[in-house]
Amino acid sequence: MWDYSETLKDHFYHPRNVGKIAEPSGKGDAGSLACGDALTLYIKVNDDGIIEDAKFQTFGCGSAIASASALTEMVIGKSVEEASRITNQDIADFLGGIPTEKMHCSVMGREALEAAIASYRGIETAPAQEGAVVCKCFGVTDREILRVARENRLATVDEVTNYTKAGGGCGNCKPQIEKLLAQLAAEQRAAEAKPARPKKMTVIEKIKLIEETLDREIRPGLRQDGGDIELIDVDGNRVIVALRGMCARCPSAEFTLAQFVETKLREFVDPDLVLEEAEE
């Protein structure tokens, strides 16, 4: 037996804002009767971009009704931009939680909201409708599976089914869902493997680190060929230097600065540094 919060039961037994808006600013559909859950959301936006009214019509279980009811309460009074940032987890939190097996109801609410906002903005296709269909039983796309899995940190096919219904019908799409989850896991591992971005430095700290890098990584190689380098100025991410000795007259000076000096400074100081040669 699923455990429903008191707030969820209240929105199921006493749903708010049920019905249609005669001339809505935007209308969004999510789910379908063939899939067992369907939701239509209407929003009315005033000249200041504020959602002044929202109503819904839905067919589905108690969690679907409660999620739609909660969503209308959440968006009324918000700007369209604020409403566009509402996630399915926000809807679940508003209701005091939704049983895991029913989280797809909150996802359906978020999809309907996105479709309504897209309609208001004159966009024909909402994000949830884009991508290639993976689950033909419930019409769930690869983009929707990846997005929901990212936002909710899903790692198994069963979790994806709870949040999107994908895989909950004939089951033929489960291998594809597993491939998408493997793809997502690989992306996450790659992101975690990236070196941490250096903390923001003061100008003095940056100059000191640049000088240390020049001394340790750059000058020894230049001096072997009778050359040297001098730091002239630092302006934000602009590092101005001058080549000295044999390097100043070398035909490969431009290559040395771009491929050797700038590369080293970006590696050891800041990846956003831009190297410039002083005009003398």
* Domain residue limits at 52: 1-121
> pLDDT tens for residues 231-246?
999 998 999 999 888 8
Confidence tier at 47 by pLDDT (50, 70, 90): very high
- If DSSP codes are grouped into helix, strand and coil, which group holds residue 101? helix
- Tell me: pLDDT of 126 over 60: no
Catalytically annotated residue among 35, 135, 173, 247: 35
The last residue of one of the domains, among 145, 162, 194, is 194
The last residue of one of the domains, among 156, 175, 194, is 194
From residue 138, alpha-carbon distances to 170, 174, 263 in Å are 10, 13, 51
As a whole number of angstroms, the distance between CA 129 and CA 110 comes to: 12
- Tell the burial category of 210 from Cβ atoms under 10 Å away from its Cβ (0-12, 13-18, 19+): buried
pLDDT of residue 139: 85
pTM across the whole model:
0.65
Q: Is-catalytic flag, 35?
A: yes
12 lies in the same domain as 101 = yes
As a whole number of angstroms, the distance between CA 8 and CA 225 comes to: 76
As a whole number of angstroms, the distance between CA 129 and CA 147 comes to: 12
> pLDDT tens for residues 152-168?
999 999 999 999 898 88
Catalytically annotated residue among 105, 135, 173, 247: 105
- Tell me: pLDDT of 46 over 90: yes
- Tell me: pLDDT of 43 over 90: yes
- Total domain count, the chain: 3
Number of H helices, E strands in the chain: 12, 8
Confidence tier at 247 by pLDDT (50, 70, 90): confident
23 lies in the same domain as 76 = yes
> pLDDT tens for residues 73-113?
999 999 999 999 999 999 999 999 999 999 999 999 999 99
pLDDT of residue 226: 83
For the sheet with 274-277, list strands across it.
Answer: 227-235, 238-245, 274-277
Domain with 171 in it: what CATH number?
1.10.10.1100
44 lies in the same domain as 103 = yes
Q: Is-catalytic flag, 105?
A: yes
210 lies in the same domain as 180 = no
Domain with 49 in it: what CATH number?
3.90.1010.10
